[in-house]
């Protein structure tokens, strides 16, 4: 993971150097301009990053609550599972701009609209992974649990969910990283976040602003991914492969 961070850093530095060289001698260069802009506006940048983060975290909490519940329910009802997964699939295929446009007449402009759109987007990976994670458990494990007299409720919470957790978490990880990107676009409907910086940068032709916004989004995405990666590894070590001493 450290290597990845270094790689990102290298790319940024290389890009910066390229821009420096191409810039005219009296011009400080785009890289330096961006660095200057960030240092001048660091407070605002932090605020927008936190807003972005809040948007993503809130959406993620709602999405996980809904999707895991739906995934569990359809794991019991094979007949509706394919329909539900199909609907989620369609929701994810709709281009994000179009989805946001649909939301505006229904929910107006603002944070809520952004959250709703993002939740709809993130349904599929989590629902699908919850569903497959539970369905693909070794049937012998479930049969043994049932045969020993565990209630369906206990089997779900003590056996099925803990065993499907790595698969479910992989879905959440996919959804989270995807959402961080789309959340930037959600600034278009007034949801706030780093997208605001990017969009106003574009409309004003202010490049340092755009780059600062993009860097912020990237940092959040990489940090999230790392967090999940670390979490998955930890849980796996704890639960499954610890050998006796």
Partner 1 sequence: MIKLEGLTKVFPGHNIPAVKELNLEIKEGDVCVLVGPSGCGKTTTMKMINRLYEPTGGKIYIRGENALQMDPIKLRLDIGYVIQEIGLFPHMTIEENIATVPNEKQWPKDKTKEKVKEVMTLVGLDPDVFKDRYPTALSGGQRQRVGVARAMVSDPPIMLMDEPFGAVDPITRARLQNEFLRIQERMGKTIVFVTHDIDEAIKMSDTIAVMREGELIQHDTPSDLLSAPADEFVSNLVGRNRSIKRLHLIRINEILEDVDRGKPIPEDAKKDDIEKSLADSDIRSVIVVDKDNKLKGVIGVNDLKRKTGGEVAGDYCQDVSDTVTSDATLNDALSVMLEIGEGYVAVVNEDDQYAGTITLGDLLNVVKEDS
CA angle, 187 as apex, 184 and 192 as ends, to 5°?
100
Number of H helices, E strands in the chain: 11, 0
* Rounded Cα distance, 163 and 132, in Å: 12
Task: Indicate the residue among 226 and 235 with the shorter CB distance to partner 1.
Answer: 235
Candidates 63, 159, 185, 215: give the one binding partner 1 (CB under 8 A): 159
Candidates 154, 204, 233, 234: give the one binding partner 1 (CB under 8 A): 154
Candidates 145, 210, 212, 215: give the one binding partner 1 (CB under 8 A): 145
Q: Does position 150 bind partner 1 by CB under 8 A?
A: yes
**How does DSSP classify residue 159?**
I
CB of 71 to partner 1, least distance (A): 19
Residue 199: which residues within 8 A CB-CB, separation 6 or more? 187, 188
CB of 53 to partner 1, least distance (A): 32
Site string for partner 1, 163-182 (x = CB under 8 A): x-------------------
* Rounded Cα distance, 31 and 18, in Å: 9
**How does DSSP classify residue 158?**
I
Residue 140: which residues within 8 A CB-CB, separation 6 or more? none
Site string for partner 1, 103-142 (x = CB under 8 A): -----------------------------------x-xxx
What are the distances in angstroms from CA 154 to CA 73, 149, 150? Answer: 15, 10, 6
The alpha carbon torsion through 128, 130, 135, 136 (nearest 10 deg) reads: 90
Candidates 146, 204, 233, 234: give the one binding partner 1 (CB under 8 A): 146
Residue 45: which residues within 8 A CB-CB, separation 6 or more? 38, 197, 212, 216
Neighbours of 191 (CB within 10 A): 28
Q: Is 213 in contact with 44 (CB distance < 8 Å)?
A: no
Task: Indicate the residue among 15 and 144 with the shorter CB distance to partner 1.
Answer: 144
Candidates 21, 105, 148, 205: give the one binding partner 1 (CB under 8 A): 148
Task: Indicate the residue among 98 and 148 with the shorter CB distance to partner 1.
Answer: 148
Q: Does position 78 bind partner 1 by CB under 8 A?
A: no
Q: Does position 240 bind partner 1 by CB under 8 A?
A: yes
Q: Does position 239 bind partner 1 by CB under 8 A?
A: yes
Task: Indicate the residue among 93 and 148 with the shorter CB distance to partner 1.
Answer: 148
Q: Does position 162 bind partner 1 by CB under 8 A?
A: yes
Query: Where does this chain bind partner 1 (CB under 8 A)?
Result: 138, 140-151, 154, 159, 162-163, 239-244
């Amino acid at each position: 993971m450290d290597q990845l961070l270094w790689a990102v850093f290298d790319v940024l530095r290389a890009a910066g150097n390229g821009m420096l060289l191409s810039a005219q001698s009296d011009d400080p260069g785009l890289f330096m301009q961006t660095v200057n802009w960030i240092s001048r506006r660091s407070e605002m940048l932090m605020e927008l990053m936190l807003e972005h983060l809040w948007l993503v975290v809130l959406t993620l909490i709602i999405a996980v609550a809904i999707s895991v519940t739906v995934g569990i329910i359809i794991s019991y009802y094979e007949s509706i599972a394919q329909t539900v997964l199909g609907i989620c699939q369609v929701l994810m295929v709709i281009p994000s701009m179009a989805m946001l446009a649909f939301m505006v007449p229904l929910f107006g402009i603002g944070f809520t609209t952004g959250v709703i759109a993002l939740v709809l987007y993130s349904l599929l990976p989590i629902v699908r992974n919850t569903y497959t994670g539970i369905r693909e458990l070794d049937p012998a494990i479930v049969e043994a649990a049932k045969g020993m007299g565990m209630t369906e409720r206990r089997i779900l919470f003590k056996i099925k969910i803990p065993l499907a957790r790595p698969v479910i978490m992989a879905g959440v990880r996919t959804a989270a990283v995807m959402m961080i990107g789309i959340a930037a676009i959600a600034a278009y409907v007034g949801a706030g976040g780093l997208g605001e910086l990017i969009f106003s940068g574009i409309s004003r032709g202010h490049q340092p602003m755009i780059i600062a916004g993009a860097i912020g989004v990237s940092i959040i995405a990489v940090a999230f991914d790392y967090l999940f990666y670390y979490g998955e590894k930890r849980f796996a070590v704890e639960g499954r492969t610890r050998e006796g001493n």
